[in-house]
Amino acid sequence: MSFQILGTGSFAPEKVVTNEDLSHMVETSDEWITKRVGVKQRHVCTTETATDMGVEAAQRALENSGVKPEELDMIIAATISADTISPGLAGMVQNRLGAGSCPCFDINVACPGFLYALDVADGFFARGRVKKVLVVSSERMSGLIDWADRSTCVIFGDGAGAAVLGEGDGYLSSVLTTKGGEDVISIPTKWDNSPFYENPLKKNVVNMQGQETYKFAVTSMVRDVRQVMEEAGITGEQVKAVIPHQANYRIINEARRRLPEIAPEKFLINIDRYGNTSSASEPILLDEANRQGLLQRGDYVVLTAFGGGLSTAACVVRW
């Protein structure tokens, strides 16, 4: 026994920051950003918190699935930008939803977090411990960005996505990998309360080596997608859609070029409208595909992500 996806939901803040807006803040241009990253605009929080966004996405997923909050047996949240270290995002979402006292916990795996959460949920379904699970990703990346650094501030955006899972046989295969280290991507935590700590403190903003990230992302996406397709016993022709992490249009484009067995139009893209929303990017894109009617019962969907850690994940879901 694994699970099936019963419903999806997503949310993005009202404020939109365009490339033109950013050109007045740092030395950049719409042409430069579009060519190198593929982003035209991104949503940015003004008064919304990570919890606010997660709750909105969760409510929409529950409505889409026909499941009531009190029916949930577990809530798993994926985030690197929760409002508080404790309580975690999952517990805060539970409180706002009125979801009883089901167990809640957060996963911090950066961009592949949503896919890691799906795999964790699968274990609880396999052991017969749950019947309904909410998986929610919410990221306020705008609070972790150096807005004077044009190499990173043009990439990221804020948003949340969620999925409600129920018993079924729709989770067909998965792969998770981690190559630990902070040399390529890192976001330091600024622990500055202790009067005894003597080491210098790093600024808690996203640090990323662009070229190394690009090579890692393309290689891992191609490898992981092929592995989960083989394990699920499906071909590229059978794949209805690929939901790739929306980190950079050039990364997605190069990965689909190296995966000729899957038609390029099957790789869904919304980075131009949202930017990189870290772990929320896959569920946001999945929700768009669901609500646009692109996915029909029985369709095979491949999800793939990569990011800080360095971690990767991919899976095949039968809709």
| 293 burial type by CB count under 10 A (0-12 exposed, 13-18 middle, 19+ buried) | exposed
Whether residue 276 lies in the annotated active site: yes
Of 245, 248, 290, 315, which is the active-site residue? Answer: 245
Amino acid (1-letter code) at residue 317: V
Of the candidates 269, 214, 215, the one whose C-alpha atom is nearest the C-alpha of residue 40 is 269
Look up residue 110 and give its two tokens. Answer: 């950066």
Residues β-bridged to residue 16:
43
Of 19, 248, 276, 290, which is the active-site residue? Answer: 276
Whether residue 315 lies in the annotated active site: no
CA distance 312 to 283: 16
Residues β-bridged to residue 159:
139
What is the distance between the terminal CA atoms of the chain, rounded to a whole angstrom?
15
CA distance 77 to 177: 19
3-state secondary structure of 176: strand
Whether residue 153 lies in the annotated active site: no
Give the H/E segment covering residue 225: helix 210-232
Residues 6 or more apart in contact with residue 207 via CB below 8 angstroms: 152, 185, 186, 187, 188
Of 102, 104, 111, 153, which is the active-site residue? Answer: 111
Contact, 171 vs 315, CB < 8 A? Answer: yes
Catalytic residues: 111, 245, 276
